Amino acid sequence: MKSLCPFCLGILTMLAGCATSGGGKNHAATLFDGKSLAGWEQLPPGSWTATNGVMASLGIARGVIYTTNDYRRYRLQFTMRHVSGNKDHQACVLIFCTRPEAGGKPLDALGGIQFQVPNGGHWDYRPGHNNGGKDEFTSLPHPKFDPHQWCRVEILADATRGIARMAVAQPVGSHAMEVLDFNVPEAGRIGPLAWQMHNRGLFDEYKDVTIEVDPQDDELISTKP
């Protein structure tokens, strides 16, 4: 069998690298550039800012900051901490949200499903629900995380099946623990993702936010050894 010339081998190696790195549909994309709020919208306006590489709430009023894009099946990862609050409340992430219509009144918390970070509180804001969703969520045993310290969070969600799972690692870089599962098929909705400021006086920070659309691995990768 005739061997390939060094030049041909180099071309094949380069093509293989292009096929397996970056650029593919399974590549995680950055959702926050660390310098601006491009790609996000706020309700009410002026309630979030980008400073020192973090997306930070300003404690102005109850509201949300949500993505300009809609998502169906994805792996969301981010680093966050709750700085302070008066009155205090855990930081909140919303999935399966309803995008506000132009000129219309938005649903409270965008009618989404709330995951409280990092310790796994929860709420169902769908119209006709607005409750803790007792039978919808499964809380898993995990260490008590300190919300005031940075943690790394992974949320794996599929709007077509109405399922989502959350894992948390603290300190950042450590092995993550699964914290909370949600499973209600009819609750799944293709829509934006959001951080929720639950009430006036809350200060939360997020950074290193990425999303992987249609992930090949349908498991929480941060919990793996």
CATH topology of domain 27-216: Jelly Rolls (2.60.120)
CA nearest to 174, candidates 132, 140, 117, 223: 223
How far is Cα 131 from Cα 141, in angstroms, rounded to an integer?
Answer: 22
Instruction: Assess whether pLDDT exceeds 80 at residue 118.
Output: yes
Residue 111 banded pLDDT, cuts 50, 70, 90: very high
Computed over every residue of the chain, the mean pLDDT equals 91
Query: Which tokens belong to 11?
Result: 């071309």
Burial (CB < 10 A; 0-12, 13-18, 19+), residue 36, is: exposed
Residue-level pLDDT at 26: 54
State pTM to two decimals.
0.88
Q: Give the pLDDT mean for 169-195.
A: 98
φ, ψ of residue 211 in degrees (nearest 5): -135, 135
Q: Give the pLDDT mean for 206-221.
A: 97
Q: Give the pLDDT mean for 56-70.
A: 98
Cα 203 → chain centroid: 18
Residue-level pLDDT at 50: 98
How far is Cα 71 from Cα 81, in angstroms, rounded to an integer?
Answer: 24
Residue-level pLDDT at 102: 87
Determine what percent of the chain is predicted with pLDDT higher than 90: 85
How far is Cα 190 from Cα 142, in angstroms, rounded to an integer?
Answer: 29
Domain boundaries defined on the chain: 27-216
Q: Vertex 205, ends 204 and 206: CA angle to 5°?
A: 130
How far is Cα 62 from Cα 198, in angstroms, rounded to an integer?
Answer: 5
Q: Helix (H) and strand (E) counts for the chain?
A: 1, 15
Higher per-residue pLDDT: 13 or 195: 195
Sign of the C-alpha dihedral computed for residues 42, 105, 93 and 60 taken in this order:
positive
8 A C-beta contact, residue 156 and residue 68: no
Residue 68 banded pLDDT, cuts 50, 70, 90: very high
Residue 103 banded pLDDT, cuts 50, 70, 90: confident
Instruction: Assess whether pLDDT exceeds 80 at residue 3.
Output: no
Instruction: Assess whether pLDDT exceeds 90 at residue 29.
Output: yes
How far is Cα 192 from Cα 133, in angstroms, rounded to an integer?
Answer: 21
How far is Cα 175 from Cα 53, in angstroms, rounded to an integer?
Answer: 24
Q: Find the Cα–Cα–Cα–Cα dihedral 16, 22, 24, 30, rounded to 10°.
A: 180
Higher per-residue pLDDT: 23 or 220: 220
Residue-level pLDDT at 190: 98
Residue 27 banded pLDDT, cuts 50, 70, 90: confident
